[in-house]
Structure 1
């Protein structure tokens, strides 16, 4: 069996481009003379080019190659099928991944691999135009990037045969699809080994997964019973890429003195998309904005269909005027003779009456729409359990929880202006807002909610409102009169632990500060696991979900998403989401989220504090991509000092660092049963913190051992070769063989 992720990680990154080298060179104002503008049947407009001197920079250089009797256009090894300067998009063909039952070996055979790595290039996958497609009657497949894992389960039901053009993702459809997040430049495709075609190969031999243009996909039941989906177009599917001249905003590109600004044509303007900035001709003009003089005026008078004019049409720069000859007036788009004055009074009277009628109809319509909107809001309020929540709040007078209106939150966030966004993730965006009371809040606007979550939402909000811990971000209220409820939290001003560790450019952080933040975070998680009623599993513990207030006190956030997560086994099996580097390998295998999953993720946060290294680094060597795997390797080789942060590594601190490393290692045990509880972790960190605070701690080793409850010995000897081997495979996503 081919180890899928090992093969992917070992492939040469043919799409990896050095953006700085590619974009920092002199950018020509136009392509040089003699440059080809066509490859086969495909136009190659500037800024693209077939030679270095013909493209705006190296990232836009394409290759025109003759394959057999056909001339095709390529970017490195991917075929380009269409380019659009006006839309800022490129259409390419990428691979489809499949797993099929092999009768000879009585096992699964894997062919081709859905993957892409365009880090550093001018391109980014279009989130609006593409979908993750999974096909099969027992197929659990997903895509993994450097910042997300997302997929779905496709099954078939003998009682409900699949239908053509139906890919709803419901049970029995044989197909499911998932939205692609924004800004994706890296992905790899995986199949879960627990779901395959071994038992159904006679009717459904294969499963498939790919990223594909949503407009190009139409489900057919023949995709399940034959290999037609995989065999077409050389086992490739079309995908839409957005591109930008450089990965900068328009404002940054205009003031950059090292790279010439690309929007060189008069009557052109700049827009920013997920890939960077690009140019377009202003309204009323057409052409190529990357060429001096490339945007030319549109003669609207020559296009009567798009720009109708029944009178005298006169073209102007960027527009046109439509008028009538003397003695005629333009009435309803038609030039007619002016009416005699005897008809003026009836016409004016009729016009006034018409205006009054229109105003009356408009007012009636607006009143009806307002009432309709009010009914819709009431319906959403009831669906989300608002009545139950309201009654419970009245009966429990001590609950400090408010039900906000949609208008209140729109005013607080300036109609959810993008400039108010302070964070975003797989569940939605977080906006900073200011209420009428001048209180600063964080408003979380979720993207989707399923029917089960909708029914339980009001009850769950009541549970969350009763959480009161100094190291947990307080939830202040929610808004229920919208399709997807919004949550309102207290605002935490000093950013995230991730920013403190990785974004401060070497700013000194003492061991005492790191240990205090770790202890406060562990206390918060222990509270959720042990003291909340019912217990709450966070589900996404990571350094970006640990906020810091004005005194740099740790505040665990985003725990609201955990209680809204699926809590039924069948629901867990249809969707796996998480953050690479923090994801519990046992959860990846079983799809069962437990409190020990939080313990594993917290162990990775401890490693970040010890090493000041990121949890997952896709750019590093294979054995250094996963911080947890790198740590286990260092412990196995008795080389812990090699990965510790130099700021805290000294002879006086090594005893404490070894104890923290030992605790992190216990948290990273492969089996959740062998991991400590968050309460045990918090108690151990508290003891360590108190020991460091004693001025005699370095001198009295017996007292140190007494406070810690165990000798501060190195733990690398306890890391067996077998456990390290298993840890390495699962940490890199190889244990399942996908």
Structure 2
């Protein structure tokens, strides 16, 4: 017996298989979970320490496999080598209150190395008064998303649906390697302590949790939720990994999976093989002929990695069902066609000409299809019907914009984000423009007329503090939008960049706030069809070389019919700037912009970001922290140190009180943008007056700079037959930072 075992080991070693991938002393299961390489439960059996699986043999019943996180043991319930997936049990985060306040809080987090959070999971929160967030690492960036669940009773709850009433859920961003869940409450559960005063949040594989109203009353927080992790080998992709290195795992009968986009790489068995592609002998030949449905009409012959079909004697062909099959042999007359060189060249030229001609024709047809699909004919009719005004939107061709951007060269990129990419372009008349290529799904037919209406109206807006829409290109699947170019970056860059923030003094910041308020007041009140921006934030306020504010990015804007004061919409915006009343009711009004502008005002004199999970919990939400600081008389302590103030000027106190009014929870208690603009104009005028009297004539240039006319004349030229129907040119965009329900 010992001799047989010794000979077996020698034979394996002679074949070069005595590596960690094929050791005989490795454990290949723990309980009912299979452990396959690159995973292993002891030293020498796994690829790297990140793939170490510990088998708890001491547990009652079946042994339990787990791997170690930074702070806990993560139980594994299933592993799939061919798909690169692992199913684990994940903890539930909870936040409980009693009549005295928070009573108990449990957090849930996970820190991974070679594993990623699969997009098959959903982030779910349940509770009567719950705000749940998940923050995670995506490469070198930290991203945050979340959802809100609010419920007064169980009357409107739908079992099995996480729509935001009692339960909310969102998709998980792709590629997160580390995450932490946090939960909060707007009212500390004070209104619903008689029910379940707790909120819960967890990650779970889609389809593995069904919400029930019973969970609001008696949810077991100690239960574990099944979630899925993706895994891969190392950090190199298939294109960058050294395939000749000894530690490259895709050996014989396997290959690097090009369909996996990393980070890291995965192996898969070649066609005709199956098994574990991470071991030297893991991928074994599939005997297709054992399957009765092999597809051969007569005889199936298995080969290494493939199979062949043979016809019976006297027949020929590929022998496959669905192919040429097997047919009787016939005596064939050998016919040799001798073609001249000229004929061959003529045929080649004819085929080439035909190929490129058909390709060009198809391209023209495709452009015409996109042009019509995006409402090009309708836009041309609108421009023609309005007399072809100089201020009307221009319809550019795809060639014009390719030439303007040097065929969208990467050196022309001036901005990139979730909505798309912005390029700097130079038109044929030497105008410098910004060209936006959006990442949007295909428009539905019902949105085409609305998109065209908004393009026509926005192109006619001629306000010194609104970025002008010059035109669009409709010959691509998603329309390209062309805007005037603003050279000095965003307000956010200047507030939060230490080297730039010193240059924008309080006087300049006050003027920027005033100009922004005037632009929003114009959009709300002076435009023929009122426009609600819906995403006011420093990132969407551009500055020119003279620090003149330009409101930009109307991708989420909505136009409100004249006979309506509010509009039901899907909640969109940026976390930290969203109107809480809008989040709760989904009713969009012009007061939603007022709230967002109030947050911008607060950023201007504090220099802090609207939302930051790097700050202490009570300071994370700037609006709430500002209101509490103002109430407690701590305004000076939160002012931006780059303003270099020894005391709080009266105008900052006035602006802070205005911001306080803008940040009222109830929209009807907030001022209108027109009232806000008038108040800021008054404050700015007092600052200018103070400069003129205090500084005298020695600083006339600075006074003149501040005296730039905030109410400079502007035009609003509305074309004939402009529809007042509600529309949204970028309605296909979806804002991810927060969602009301699913």
Cα deviation digits, residues 566-602 of structure 1 (max 9, x gap)? 99999837x4343222122232343322222222222
Q: Is the 8 A contact 2:465 2:515 kept in 1?
A: yes
In 2, Cα distance between equivalents of 1:211 and 1:631: 32
Aligned length: 616
1:535 offset after TM fit, Å? 1.6
Distance in 1, matches of 2:660 and 2:47, equals 50
How big is the shift at 1:387?
5.4
Task: Decide whether aligned partners of structure 1 residues 647 and 226 sit closer, same or farther in structure 2, where only a CA change above 3 A counts.
Answer: closer
Q: Distance in 2 between matches of 1:96 and 1:674?
A: 39
In 1: Cα distance, 2:43 partner to 2:633 partner:
50
The answer to whether the Cα contact below 8 Å between 1:250 and 1:272 also exists between their aligned partners in 2 is no
Aligned counterpart, 2:423: 432
Query: How big is the shift at 1:96?
Result: 8.6
Partner of 1:572: 568
2:624 paired residue number = 629
Q: Match of 2:440?
A: 446
- CA deviations 1:541-572 (Å, max 9, x no partner) are 22332344566654322223121799999983
Cα deviations by residue, 1:431-483 (Å, 9 ceiling, x for unpaired): 53869859651122334767875563333333222223333333334566888
- Using the TM superposition, name which of 628-637 and 673-682 deviates more: 673-682
Q: 1:175 to 1:587 in 2, by over 3 A?
A: closer
In the aligned structure 1, how far is the partner of 2:149 from the partner of 2:444? Answer: 14
Verify the 8 A CA contact 1:142 1:189 in the aligned structure 2: yes
> What is the alpha-carbon distance in structure 1 between the residues aligned to residue 523 and residue 423 of structure 2?
25
Q: Alignment partner of 1:446: what SS?
A: coil
Preserved CA contact (<8 Å) 2:494 2:500: no
- 1:401 maps to which residue? 393
User: 1:637 and 1:653 mapped to 2: Cα distance?
Assistant: 15
Contact 1:242 1:274 in 2 (8 A): no
Confirm or deny: 8 A CA contact 2:121 2:171 kept in the other structure. Answer: yes
Q: How far did 1:528 drift? A: 1.8
1:466 aligns with 2:466: no
On the 8 A contact 1:46/1:56 being kept in 2, the answer is yes
In structure 2, the residue corresponding to 1:476 is in which secondary structure? Answer: strand
**Does the 8 A contact of 1:498 with 1:543 survive in 2?**
yes
Q: Which residue of 2 aligns with 1:3?
A: none
How high is the TM-score relative to the length of structure 2? 0.60
| Preserved CA contact (<8 Å) 2:200 2:221 | no
- CA distance in 2 between counterparts of 1:208 and 1:117 reads 14
CA separation of 1:379 and 1:392: change in aligned 2, threshold 3 A: closer
Q: Distance in 1 between matches of 2:392 and 2:499?
A: 40
1:609 is aligned to 604
Show the 5 A alignment for 1:300-449.
Answer: 331=318, 342-345=332-335, 380-381=373-374, 388-397=378-387, 398=389, 399-403=391-395, 422-425=415-418, 428-432=419-423, 437=428, 440-447=434-441
2:61 equivalent in structure 1: 69
State yes or no: 1:665 paired with 2:653: no
182 and 261 in structure 1: CA distance in 2 versus 1, 3 angstrom threshold = farther
In the TM superposition, residue 686 of structure 1 has moved relative to its aligned partner by 5.5
In 1, distance between residues paired with 2:565 and 2:114?
42
1:249–1:276 CA contact under 8 A, matched in 2: yes
SS at match of 2:558: helix
Evaluate the alpha carbon distance shift between residue 594 and residue 272 of structure 1 in structure 2; reply closer, same or farther with a 3 A threshold: farther
Measure how far apart 1:632 and its partner are.
2.6
Conserved in 2, the CA contact under 8 Å of 1:167 and 1:177? no
1:226 shift after superposition: 7.9
Q: Deviations over 1:32-60 (max 9, x none)?
A: 99775533222345565668998777876
Contact 2:597 2:662 in 1 (8 A): yes
Which structure 2 residues correspond to residues 489-638 of structure 1 after superposition, within 5 A? 489-490=483-484, 495-502=489-496, 508-511=502-505, 514-548=509-543, 553-563=548-558, 572=568, 575-638=570-633
SS at match of 2:531: coil
Larger Rg belongs to: 2
SS of the counterpart of 2:594? helix
Quick check: 2:92–2:108 contact (8 Å CA) kept in 1?
no
> Does the residue aligned with 1:342 lie in a helix, a strand or coil?
coil
- In 1, the alpha carbon distance for the partners of 2:41 and 2:282 equals 29
| Bigger mean CA deviation after superposition, 684-693 or 617-626 | 684-693
Separation in 1 of the partners of 2:638 and 2:259?
39
2:642 to 640, 647, 650: 647
In structure 1, C-alpha distance between the alignment counterparts of 2:236 and 2:486, rounded to whole Å: 28
In structure 2, the gaps of 5 or more residues are: 1-18, 96-103, 136-143, 340-350, 697-703, 707-736
Mean CA deviation greater in 659-668 or 303-312: 303-312
Q: d(CA) in 1 for partners of 2:238 and 2:651? A: 48
Residue 623 of structure 1 and its aligned partner are, at CA, apart by: 0.8
- Taking the TM superposition and a 5 Å limit, the aligned residue runs for 1:189-200 are none
1:89 corresponds to: 85
- Residues 1:407 and 1:167: Cα distance change in structure 2 (over 3 Å): farther
Deviations 1:282-333 (CA, angstroms, capped at 9, x unpaired): 96798878x7xx4669565756689999899876xxx8898999x9997477
Relative to structure 1, is the Cα distance of residues 388 and 297 closer, same or farther in structure 2, using a 3 angstrom cutoff?
same
Residue 533 of structure 2 contacts residue 558 of structure 2 at CA under 8 Å; is this kept in 1?
yes
Change (3 A) 1:514 1:226: closer
Judge conservation of contact 1:538–1:598 (CA < 8 Å) in 2: yes
Q: 1:630 to 1:680 in 2, by over 3 A?
A: same
Question: Aligned partners of 1:114 and 1:390: how far apart in 2?
Answer: 60
1:145 touches 1:187 (CA, 8 Å); kept in 2? yes
Query: Which of 31, 34, 38 lines up with 2:29 in the alignment?
Result: 38
TM-score by length of 1: 0.60
Give the Cα–Cα distance (whole angstroms) in 2 for the partners of residues 330 and 413 of structure 1: 55
- How far apart are the structure 1 equivalents of 2:249 and 2:560? 50
Alpha-carbon contact 1:141-1:152 (below 8 Å) kept: yes
Give the aligned CA root-mean-square deviation in angstroms.
Answer: 6.6
